[in-house]
């Protein structure tokens, strides 16, 4: 069975990771302020659940940038 690229990636404790997510054709992710708030809330809940430290967040209308570190080994992927 073939392994996805995400499963092949290695993450180490305390190492800074830049996460960038963009939509196809640069369509919008966020249409109003409440969309940003919902995303931010879910991101914080999941970061706490998976022991991820969020150092920087940039939520743009059509893409997202995060700078994150993991707090424990094997928390990502």
Go through the domains of the chain in sequence order and give each one's CATH number.
Answer: 12-70 (3.30.70.1290)
Mean pLDDT, the chain, as a whole number? Answer: 85
- Checking if the pLDDT of 15 tops 70, the result is yes
- Checking if the pLDDT of 58 tops 70, the result is yes
Largest CA distance in the chain: 42
pLDDT attached to residue 71: 78
Mean pLDDT value across residues 47-51: 91
For residues 5 and 8, give the distance between their C-alpha atoms in angstroms, rounded to a whole number. 5
- Give Cβ neighbours of residue 9 (< 8 Å, ≥ 6 apart): 76, 77
Q: How far is CA 32 from CA 29, 37, 39, in A?
A: 10, 9, 11
pLDDT attached to residue 8: 58
Mean pLDDT value across residues 3-18: 69
pTM: 0.74
């Amino acid at each position: 069975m073939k392994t996805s690229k995400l499963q092949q990636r290695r993450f180490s404790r305390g190492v800074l990771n830049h996460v960038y997510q963009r939509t196809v054709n640069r369509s919008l992710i966020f249409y109003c302020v409440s969309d940003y708030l919902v995303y931010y809330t879910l991101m914080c809940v999941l970061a706490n659940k998976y022991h991820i430290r969020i150092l920087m967040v940039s939520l743009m209308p059509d893409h997202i940038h995060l700078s994150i570190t993991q707090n424990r080994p094997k928390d990502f992927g």
